[in-house]
Chain A
Amino acid sequence: MIKANNIHKSFGDLEVLKGIDLEVQPSEVVVLVGVSGSGKSTLLRCFNFLEMINDGEITIDGTTINHKKDNLSKVRAEVGMVFQHFNLFPHKTVIENIIEAPMQVKKKKKAAAIKHAKELLDKVGLADKADVYPNKLSGGQKQRVAIARSLAMEPKVMLFDEPTSALDPELVTEVLQVMKNLAEEGMTMVVVTHEMRFAREVADRIIMLDEGVIIESADPKTFFENPSNERTKQFIQLVE
């Protein structure tokens, strides 16, 4: 679904990604871990072209993207992204947040967009919040709306960048549950998270990023019980 081939990304003199190779299969859930500054967010952002790679190749659903020539809006419409700080549109109600892109980008009719949005709100357990503004929601509710908003575009893959890191501990579960359901429905997902229980239970594969390179890629059991890299061992001790 996503194929990264020898990705390099620098900010000025700082090389953040140093040749990343990664292939995510359809319906696969990949959890991305690593210490702060290892390049997790940058990698995710390259996948939907919020950052442009300096070298290498990104292929989404069989199409290799040339970020200089291709219509990036079109590519991004197929790749959902959920942010740490939700980034809901504060001037729009919950339902307006969700129908915005389907109507503007996919030129969906309003009635159809609303119908789909309501189904999605139902799915994330917020059917009663359709007409409130985001500032009236808790963090967990905001993040679930943000997930519904991404899903409204019917993306082929969903990227999550620390979706629960900004939440109070008691609100984390409701968001993880929605993500878990999504995984079970067969959504292809790449998730950056520090929630190791989620990684253990939901991930098909856990990838450890360290100073811009992948140093470990294994199924959860192997990752936690028998990691091959010394730094992975240290990291696991740190987070467990």
Chain B
Amino acid sequence: MTTPLSVRVVEAELRTYRRTWRGSVFTGFLNPILYLLAMGVGLGTLVDENLSVGADGISYLAFIAPGLLVATAMQTGAGEGAWKVMAAVKWRQTWHATLATPVGVGSLALGQIYWSTLRVAMVSASFAVVMVLFGVASPPEALGAMVPAILVGAGMAAVTTAFTVRLQTDAPLAMYFRFVVIPMFLFSGVLFPITQLPAWLQPVAQATPVFHGVELARMIALGITPSVSPWISWFYLAAVLVVGTVLVIAPLRRRLTP
């Protein structure tokens, strides 16, 4: 039995990951604990004393937990597609070496997206465990909420990779994080409902994958009825992933196999 080419890429990444897995598993648990403590418990106590953000009886902690899960997955995915990719195509050119093996550009791109998805899944899983520990979701609910989170993270990995492989320097990456990734975290319904935004900004927020991921995660974990049809959200997230992946291949081919 031969291993599919894209799976070989995932295996190679796993070998690299062996070097750093302890640290990354540690932060995988530490991050959600800190976020949920600071924003869910600390800030949440203030919020809950004054108003109710979600449907009746839902605490701020419970409200933002699925949101933060999706946001964390999104940032992990973006991280996988950024400087690491720049190093592989430009600084260390390790992908040049990969392409001298049976692995071709398509399998390499696909393998990288698989690997990013796996990383996002790991981070989401530790987040889900913490959610259960904080008592905001039952294990099946937390597990279910992981699905849209992973889809958002994978899509962001694909889109970010597609962006990075077109760059000559890494300067635009810092801009990308400052003006796309972080605002997406702050204003796409993770920390507060987008109805709080000025009317003209709401459609912008609705166009982000994070918004759709959060709507789905809240529906699954808390039973909150989403403001758009879940089918639209699922389809949109899948489309982002597919389109992002397709957009990686052509520039990568032009760049690495001229």
Interaction A to B: no
Residues of B within 8 A of A (CB): none
